Structure 1
Amino acid sequence: MAAVTPTKEALLQLYSNSLRTARAYSSYNFREYFVRRTKSQFREIQDEKDPAKLSAFYNERVKELAVIKRGAIVNQLYGGWKLVLENEPPKDQALERSDS
C-alpha cells in the first residue's frame, strides 16, 4: 500500500492544532517548550518534497498531537502557581524608574 502524501492544507491544519494544544498548557515552562518544539519541527520539514518523508512526518505528528492533548488536560488539572514572569503589572499602574 502506497503512503498517501498529506496536502499542504492538512499540514497547516496539523501545525495550527499543535500550536493551539501547546498553548493550552497552564504551566509556563511546558507551554513554551511545546510551542518552540512545534515551530522548529515544522520549520525543518517546510521545504521537504519527498512524499514518503512528508507522510512519515505527518503520521508521527498526529500521534504526538494526541499525546500532547492528553498532557495538556492533565497539566490544566494540576497546573500549580503562576511564575513571576507570567504576572503582568496592572494596566492602570504607571511604571516608574527606580533611580528617579
Structure 2
Amino acid sequence: MSSQSTQAVVPLYRSLLRMSKNFGSYNFREYALRRVRDGFQAHRAEKDLAVIEQLVLDGKAQLELLQRQTTISKMYEFNKTVVETQPSIKYA
C-alpha cells in the first residue's frame, strides 16, 4: 500500500472504530466493531490502488451510515445486558 493510500485508510479505520463505540446498545456496538475490524482485515493485503480507492469510498459511506445510526441509537434508552452489568470481582 502506498503512503498516500495509507494516509486515507488509517484515519478512516479509526473514525469507523470510534463511531462504532457510540452505539447505546451493547449488541449493536459489538456488532459494528466486529464488522469494521473484519472488513479491514479482509482487504489488508490489497495492493491495487483503484480497488483501495473504491474501498475507501465505500468505507466513507459506511461511516456516514454509522453516524446516522448512532444518532438514532442515542434517542432511545437501552437496558443494560448481563455482560454490561456484571459487578467487577475484586480478589483479596
Shorter-chain TM band: 0.7 to 0.9
Q: What CA distance in whole angstroms lies between the structure 1 residues aligned with 2:43 and 2:30?
A: 21
Root mean square deviation, CA, Å: 1.8
Name stretches of at least 5 consecutive residues in structure 2 with no aligned partner: none
Picking from 4, 7, 10, the partner of 2:5 is 7
Q: What CA distance in whole angstroms lies between the structure 2 residues aligned with 1:84 and 1:66?
A: 30
Name stretches of at least 5 consecutive residues in structure 1 with no aligned partner: 1-5, 95-100
Q: Which aligned runs of 4 or more in structure 1 are off by greater than 4 angstroms? A: 90-94
Q: What CA distance in whole angstroms lies between the structure 2 residues aligned with 1:93 and 1:83?
A: 24
Instruction: Specify the SS of the correspondent of 1:77.
Output: coil
State the Cα distance separating 1:90 from its structure 2 match: 5.1
Picking from 9, 18, 30, the partner of 2:28 is 30
State the Cα distance separating 1:93 from its structure 2 match: 8.8
Aligned to 2:79: 81
Aligned to 2:17: 19
8 Å CA contact 2:5–2:52 kept in 1: the answer is no
AA partner of residue 51 (structure 1): L
AA partner of residue 43 (structure 2): I
Q: What CA distance in whole angstroms lies between the structure 1 residues aligned with 2:80 and 2:91?
A: 20
Aligned to 2:47: 49
Normalised to the residue count of structure 1, the TM-score between the two structures is 0.81
| Number of residue pairs aligned between Structure 1 and Structure 2 | 89
What is the percentage of aligned positions where both structures have the same residue?
30
Normalised to the residue count of structure 2, the TM-score between the two structures is 0.87
State the Cα distance separating 1:71 from its structure 2 match: 0.2
Aligned to 2:58: 60
Q: What CA distance in whole angstroms lies between the structure 1 residues aligned with 2:67 and 2:29?
A: 12
Q: What CA distance in whole angstroms lies between the structure 2 residues aligned with 1:9 and 1:87?
A: 39
